[in-house]
Amino acid sequence: MLVREVMTTPVVSVSSEISVKHATELLDEHQITAMPVVDEGGHLLGVVSEADVIREVVPVDRRVHERSVEIAGPTVQLSVADVMSRLPLSVSPDDDVARAVELFVDTQVKSLPVVRFGRVVGMISRRDVIAILARRDALIEAEVDDALRTSGVECTVEVIDGVVHLRDAENAEAMRIARVIAARAAGVVGVDAGYDESERRD
């Protein structure tokens, strides 16, 4: 499965000049955890996340202190440029989703910009991957069946817990093609392909 098959488009992005307040409103409005920061040409400059904005703008509550101490919040209007991550991780639309998952697991990021030739073309998040993995077996089975018919491959398909079980292909080559087609379907976590020479059709 490729990143371009899972990523979210169009992308909610921001310029580095807008206020952190406005960025916070966009994160809340679109229910997202991070946004790419881009220049006028759509080139990636950084990423601003929930963690970036709350780290800088949430003031300390004086009520937690025993003594009355004056604690002032920021006195200047912060911009996205003041809080964004300037060396963000990213993936290509042609990368395997497994590459994005590896970055999600190995780092604290929840969303990654998808970049082609320096420009942001999408975003992929942990939630996007979960949504694909949560696809119902019946939907996966129907998609694989349809793809096999379109390719002229006859094969029995059964999907159990995201694993595609392929049986009764005409020959070993047909099974090889069926295996490739099944592996591309969204939500597939494994392919079990069997071919028995005794079942070959003349």
188 found inside a domain: yes
Tally the domains of the chain: 2
pLDDT for the residue 198: 44
Same domain, 28 and 121: yes
pLDDT digits (tens, 9 = 90+) for 68-79: 555 555 556 789
Range of the domain at 188: 137-199
Same domain, 164 and 126: no
pLDDT for the residue 124: 96
Same domain, 98 and 190: no
Same domain, 150 and 94: no
pLDDT for the residue 74: 54
Same domain, 26 and 108: yes
25 found inside a domain: yes
- Regions of the chain short of the pLDDT cut 70: 56-76, 195-202
pLDDT digits (tens, 9 = 90+) for 15-49: 999 999 999 999 999 999 999 999 999 999 999 99
pLDDT for the residue 133: 84
What is the identity of the amino acid at 89? L
pLDDT for the residue 193: 86
Taking the C-alpha atoms of residue 166 and residue 38, their distance in angstroms, rounded to an integer, is 45
pLDDT for the residue 73: 53
